[in-house]
Structure 1
Amino acid sequence: MPTLDVEIDLARRFGPWVAGCDEVGRGALAGPVSVGMVLLRATDAAVLDGVRDSKLVSASARAALAPVIQDWAAGWGVGHATAAEIDEFGILPATGMAGRRALIDAQDRAGASADSVLLDGNFDWLTPRDQGSLFEALEPSGESPVPPVVTRIKADLSCVSVAAASILAKVERDELLSSYHDAEPHFGWVDNKGYGTAAHRAAIAAHGPSEKHRRSWRLT
């Protein structure tokens, strides 16, 4: 059961405002990489029943939980980096771009700045590397510096803010991929959500990649 134990510890170490963060779509062949961000005043928050890592929750349950999470969080955001951005800059820089976009939205909704970010995994892809000119050109105008980032393996299983962020990102990205279907039904977007199923790869081989595909990737 995810708890707020880690978030409360971070609030005591860095300050009260803690953002939980998770990404979806990093391994897909098409569509954006998407990052969810949930901002809480951790010591004042309560654990939200039913929230789990998005991979452990059915699609219908995720859709029902998303508005509940949005009401529960002090602030929330979902940021995207497009297939074209992934092709141009690489998957990790693009994931960071999406995450910083999500953080801006979450802070704007909360009217507060995160004191720390809790990130699922063991690598901090959120903080820009020493590529100042690249990120200065891409980050939104007026973006605040990224606060301290703390990584935690399987945080989506143990930390409710990260699990909640994963659900928001999954729901929004799935809806976006499904919206592609009417224009390009041959790719089966509703079923594969951009991931490399056998049917999806066969469709790419038959029709060629679309602008939604990550053309720098091995697609077939």
Structure 2
Amino acid sequence: MMQYQRPDVQLICGVDEVGRGPLIGAVVTAAVILDPAKPINGLNDSKKLSEKRRAELAELIKAQALCWALGRAEPHEIDQLNILHATMLAMRRAVAALTIKPDWVLVDGNRTTEFGIPATAVVKGDALVPEISAASIIAKVARDAEMQALHQAHPQFGFADHKGYPTAFHLAAIAQHGVLPQHRRSFKPVRLVLEQQGL
């Protein structure tokens, strides 16, 4: 496993995103500064945890972290900026919303954005850096809840199961029921349906 060099500073903020791949909804990011005096056991990449465990850890993180915040970029911003730039915007929003200013930002992945604070991208950071693991868990729980709410409103799309990702079921549902206002119109499968419908 690749080692990352942990910055020698007091307040480290971890940042991660959820929802770059789905065809619908916001891309959701979280920024978390953990309390060194209250370590949380079991932090890991949110995708490697069960839904139940994620929910438990999310509550623990919110209760014990020094501070945490969510950021987001809406579908119209994703369509306007493209998914990468919208994700970076959402990350900046999450860090800006923190009530404590961190000394350093560690971002999951291979690129970072301009936070006005020193920042480092950490590949596989959601498995290596506890702060990034915590951010990935909070962001995923938040976005999954939004997909659950969307499922209640539009059960025929099956959002509770596929969370908006381009599964065969989701693609068939778009073809059959049309495009919702929350869909990302710049994403190819959505765009193709709109073109077929002459929209």
TM-score, normalised with respect to structure 2? 0.88
Moved over 6 A (4+): none
- Residue correspondence of structure 1 range 174-185 to structure 2 within 5 A: 174-185=144-155
Question: Which residue of 136, 148, 170 corresponds with 1:200?
Answer: 170
Check the 8 A contact 2:4/2:122 in 1, yes or no. Answer: no
Q: Is the 8 A contact 1:119 1:152 kept in 2?
A: yes
Verify: 1:120 aligned to 2:113, yes or no: no
Q: Is the 2:77–2:86 Cα contact (8 Å) retained in structure 1?
A: yes
Q: Distance in 1 between matches of 2:4 and 2:30?
A: 18
- In the TM superposition, 1:33-44 aligns within 5 A as 33-40=27-34, 44=36
What SS does the aligned partner of 1:34 have? Answer: strand
Q: Which runs of 5+ in 2 are unaligned?
A: 191-199
Secondary structure of residue in 1 paired with 2:68: strand
Q: Flag structure 1 segments of 5+ consecutive residues without an equivalent.
A: 128-144
| Aligned counterpart for 2:127 among listed residues 148, 153, 157 | 157
The letter of the residue matching 1:201 is L
State the 1:57 CA deviation: 0.3
Whether 1:103 and 2:73 are equivalent positions in the alignment is no
Give the SS at the match of 2:88.
helix
**8 Å contact kept, 1:47–1:160:** no
Amino acid at match of 1:117: V
2:138 and 2:4 mapped to 1: Cα distance? 20
User: In the aligned structure 2, how far is the partner of 1:18 from the partner of 1:47?
Assistant: 14
The question of whether the paired residues in 2 share the 8 Å contact of 1:17 and 1:115 is answered with: yes
Q: TM-score, normalised by structure 1?
A: 0.80
Q: What percent of counterpart residues are identical?
A: 41
The amino acid across from 1:24 in the alignment is V
1:37-72 deviation digits (Å, cap 9, x = unpaired): 10146xx44531111110110001111111101122
Q: 2:50 aligns with which of 46, 55, 58?
A: 58
Read off the aligned partner of 2:15 and give its amino acid letter: C
2:63 is matched with: 71
**Which residue is 1:169 aligned to?**
139
Give yes or no for the alignment of 1:19 onto 2:7: no
Q: Which amino acid aligns with 1:67?
A: E
User: What are the Cα deviations for residues 85-109 of structure 1, in whole angstroms up to 9, with x where unaligned?
Assistant: 100111111111211221122x21x
Distance 2:120 2:96 in 1: 18
Q: Deviations over 1:105-150 (max 9, x none)?
A: 2x21xxx2111100111111x32xxxxxxxxxxxxxxxxx531110
Q: Which residue does 1:140 correspond to in 2?
A: none
- Give the 3-state SS of the residue equivalent to 2:150 in structure 1: coil
Q: Distance in 1 between matches of 2:86 and 2:48?
A: 26
Count of residues in Structure 1 that have an aligned counterpart in Structure 2: 189
- Counterpart for residue 196 of structure 2: none
Letter in 1 for 2:162: N
